[in-house]
Amino acid sequence: MKSFSVQLRFGMLAVSVLALVAGCGGDDGSDGSPDPDVLVECPPDSDAQQSRGASVIANQCVTCHSTAGGSQGGLDFNNATTVKANAEKMMSEVESGAMPPGATVEKSSVDDLRVYLSCL
Protein backbone atom coordinates (compact mmCIF):
# COMPACT_ATOMS: atom_id res chain seq x y z
CA MET A 1 0.00 0.00 0.00
CA LYS A 2 2.85 2.33 0.84
CA SER A 3 4.38 1.67 -2.58
CA PHE A 4 1.15 2.72 -4.31
CA SER A 5 1.05 5.96 -2.30
CA VAL A 6 4.63 6.79 -3.29
CA GLN A 7 3.88 6.01 -6.94
CA LEU A 8 0.76 8.17 -6.83
CA ARG A 9 2.68 11.12 -5.36
CA PHE A 10 5.46 10.69 -7.90
CA GLY A 11 2.89 10.54 -10.71
CA MET A 12 1.15 13.70 -9.48
CA LEU A 13 4.51 15.46 -9.20
CA ALA A 14 5.46 14.39 -12.73
CA VAL A 15 2.15 15.64 -14.14
CA SER A 16 2.54 18.95 -12.29
CA VAL A 17 6.07 19.45 -13.60
CA LEU A 18 4.96 18.63 -17.16
CA ALA A 19 2.06 21.07 -16.90
CA LEU A 20 4.39 23.77 -15.62
CA VAL A 21 6.90 23.18 -18.40
CA ALA A 22 4.17 23.13 -21.03
CA GLY A 23 2.82 26.44 -19.74
CA CYS A 24 6.21 28.14 -19.79
CA GLY A 25 8.22 28.84 -22.86
CA GLY A 26 5.62 27.70 -25.31
CA ASP A 27 5.12 29.31 -28.67
CA ASP A 28 3.13 32.52 -28.33
CA GLY A 29 2.20 32.40 -32.00
CA SER A 30 4.49 35.29 -32.85
CA ASP A 31 6.97 34.85 -35.66
CA GLY A 32 9.05 37.77 -34.39
CA SER A 33 7.88 40.17 -37.06
CA PRO A 34 6.42 43.56 -36.13
CA ASP A 35 2.73 43.72 -35.27
CA PRO A 36 0.91 45.09 -38.31
CA ASP A 37 -1.59 46.87 -36.04
CA VAL A 38 0.96 49.17 -34.39
CA LEU A 39 0.28 51.89 -36.95
CA VAL A 40 -3.04 53.56 -37.66
CA GLU A 41 -4.62 55.30 -40.61
CA CYS A 42 -3.19 58.79 -40.95
CA PRO A 43 -5.73 61.08 -39.27
CA PRO A 44 -6.81 64.22 -41.10
CA ASP A 45 -5.65 67.54 -39.66
CA SER A 46 -2.83 65.91 -37.71
CA ASP A 47 0.00 68.22 -38.78
CA ALA A 48 0.77 69.38 -35.22
CA GLN A 49 0.78 65.82 -33.91
CA GLN A 50 2.99 64.70 -36.81
CA SER A 51 5.42 67.51 -36.02
CA ARG A 52 5.59 66.42 -32.38
CA GLY A 53 6.12 62.81 -33.51
CA ALA A 54 9.01 63.86 -35.74
CA SER A 55 10.48 65.66 -32.72
CA VAL A 56 10.37 62.41 -30.73
CA ILE A 57 12.61 60.81 -33.35
CA ALA A 58 14.91 63.84 -33.44
CA ASN A 59 15.21 63.98 -29.64
CA GLN A 60 15.07 60.30 -28.66
CA CYS A 61 16.31 58.24 -31.63
CA VAL A 62 18.87 60.01 -33.79
CA THR A 63 21.30 60.35 -30.89
CA CYS A 64 22.24 56.72 -31.61
CA HIS A 65 20.46 55.95 -34.88
CA SER A 66 22.18 58.42 -37.22
CA THR A 67 25.49 58.74 -38.99
CA ALA A 68 26.73 61.04 -36.21
CA GLY A 69 25.50 58.58 -33.56
CA GLY A 70 27.22 55.61 -35.15
CA SER A 71 24.11 54.31 -36.93
CA GLN A 72 23.37 51.81 -34.14
CA GLY A 73 21.75 48.72 -35.60
CA GLY A 74 22.67 49.96 -39.07
CA LEU A 75 19.88 52.54 -38.90
CA ASP A 76 20.04 56.22 -39.80
CA PHE A 77 16.82 57.88 -38.70
CA ASN A 78 17.87 61.19 -40.24
CA ASN A 79 16.89 59.45 -43.47
CA ALA A 80 13.11 59.51 -44.05
CA THR A 81 13.27 56.39 -46.23
CA THR A 82 14.89 54.44 -43.38
CA VAL A 83 12.31 55.73 -40.90
CA LYS A 84 9.43 54.73 -43.18
CA ALA A 85 10.91 51.29 -43.86
CA ASN A 86 11.29 50.67 -40.12
CA ALA A 87 8.13 52.41 -38.87
CA GLU A 88 6.34 49.32 -37.51
CA LYS A 89 9.49 47.98 -35.83
CA MET A 90 10.22 51.42 -34.33
CA MET A 91 6.72 51.64 -32.91
CA SER A 92 6.89 48.12 -31.48
CA GLU A 93 10.25 48.82 -29.85
CA VAL A 94 9.03 52.07 -28.27
CA GLU A 95 5.76 50.52 -27.06
CA SER A 96 7.54 47.55 -25.51
CA GLY A 97 9.92 49.87 -23.65
CA ALA A 98 12.96 48.39 -25.41
CA MET A 99 13.72 51.75 -27.01
CA PRO A 100 15.11 54.14 -26.13
CA PRO A 101 17.32 52.24 -23.69
CA GLY A 102 17.32 53.65 -20.19
CA ALA A 103 14.46 56.04 -20.91
CA THR A 104 10.70 56.04 -21.09
CA VAL A 105 8.69 57.86 -23.73
CA GLU A 106 5.56 59.54 -22.36
CA LYS A 107 2.25 58.14 -23.62
CA SER A 108 1.34 61.38 -25.39
CA SER A 109 4.68 61.29 -27.21
CA VAL A 110 4.13 57.64 -28.14
CA ASP A 111 0.75 58.64 -29.61
CA ASP A 112 2.39 61.50 -31.55
CA LEU A 113 5.07 59.13 -32.84
CA ARG A 114 2.42 56.63 -33.96
CA VAL A 115 0.61 59.32 -35.96
CA TYR A 116 3.84 60.61 -37.52
CA LEU A 117 4.95 57.12 -38.55
CA SER A 118 1.47 56.27 -39.82
CA CYS A 119 1.42 59.35 -42.02
CA LEU A 120 4.77 58.75 -43.74
Q: Are 112 and 49 contacting, i.e. CB atoms less than 8 angstroms apart?
A: yes
Distance CA 90, CA 38 (A): 10
- End-to-end, the C-alpha distance of the chain in Å comes to 73
Residue type, 47: D
Higher pLDDT, 11 or 77: 77
What backbone phi and psi angles, to 5 degrees, belong to 113?
-60, -40
Q: What is the pLDDT of residues 62-112, one digit of tens each?
A: 999 988 878 888 898 999 999 999 999 999 999 999 999 999 999 999 999
